[in-house]
Amino acid sequence: MSETTAWDARFEVTADGRGLVKDAGVVLLRKTADAVGLTGRIGEVFGPGRVERICRGAVLVGAASAIAAGARNLSQVERILAGHAGTFGSCGSDSTLWRTLDSIDERALKRLSRARARSRRTLWRMLAARPGGFPWLQVGGKRLHGWIVVDLDATIVGCHSRKQNATGTYKGGFGHHHLGGWIANTGESLNILPRPGNAGSNTATDHVTVLDEVLAQISDEGRHSKLLVRIDGAGASHDTIGHLEKLGTTRRRVAWTIGWSITTLEETAIKALPERAWAPYLDQDGTIAPPVHYDDGTSGTTRSEYGHVAELTGLAKRPGWPATMRLIVRRVPIAPRDQAAGKVTALEKATGWKYAITATNINRMRGIPGSSHPQWLDVLHRHHAVVEDHVRAAKSTGLGLLPSASWRINTAWVLLTGIARDLDVWTRLLAFADHPLLAKAEPATMRELVYRLPARLANHAHKRWLRFDRNHPHTDAITTAWHRLAALPAVT
Give the tens place of pLDDT for each residue, 66-123: 999 999 999 999 999 998 888 888 888 899 999 999 999 999 999 999 999 999 999 9
The domain boundary, picked from 368, 393, 418, lies at: 393
Cα 372 from Cα 378, distance rounded (Å): 10
CB neighbours of residue 324 within 10 Å: 11
> Residue 83 falls within a domain, yes or no?
yes
* Pair 258, 187 in one domain: yes
* Pair 341, 297 in one domain: yes
| Mean pLDDT value of segment 274-283 | 92
Cα 61 from Cα 39, distance rounded (Å): 6
* Pair 33, 69 in one domain: yes
pLDDT of 297: 47
The domain boundary, picked from 393, 425, 458, lies at: 393
> Residue 125 falls within a domain, yes or no?
no
> Residue 120 falls within a domain, yes or no?
no
3-state helix, strand, coil in the chain (%, to 5): 40, 20, 40
* Pair 184, 282 in one domain: yes
* Pair 99, 140 in one domain: no
Distance, first Cα to last Cα, the chain:
67
Task: Provide the pLDDT confidence category of residue 400 given band limits of 50, 70 and 90.
Answer: very high
Which of 47-61, 190-204, 416-430 ranks highest by mean pLDDT? 416-430
> Residue 254 falls within a domain, yes or no?
yes
* Pair 353, 414 in one domain: no
The domain boundary, picked from 393, 420, 448, lies at: 393
> Residue 43 falls within a domain, yes or no?
yes
* Pair 278, 426 in one domain: no
As for how many domains the chain has, the answer is: 2
* Pair 28, 174 in one domain: no
Could you report the per-residue pLDDT of 47-61, keeping only the tens digit for each?
Answer: 765 544 678 889 999
> Residue 422 falls within a domain, yes or no?
yes
> Residue 429 falls within a domain, yes or no?
yes
* Pair 387, 413 in one domain: no
Q: Which structural domain range is residue 212 located in?
A: 135-393
> Residue 124 falls within a domain, yes or no?
no
Q: 181 near 214, Cβ under 8 Å? A: yes
* Pair 387, 474 in one domain: no
Which of these ranges, 89-93, 273-277, 308-312, 425-429, has the smallest mean pLDDT? 89-93
Residue 5: strand pairing partners: none
* Pair 154, 49 in one domain: no
Cα 118 from Cα 457, distance rounded (Å): 33
* Pair 174, 95 in one domain: no
Q: How far is CA 363 from CA 23, 221, 226, 270, 372, in A?
A: 51, 21, 14, 21, 5
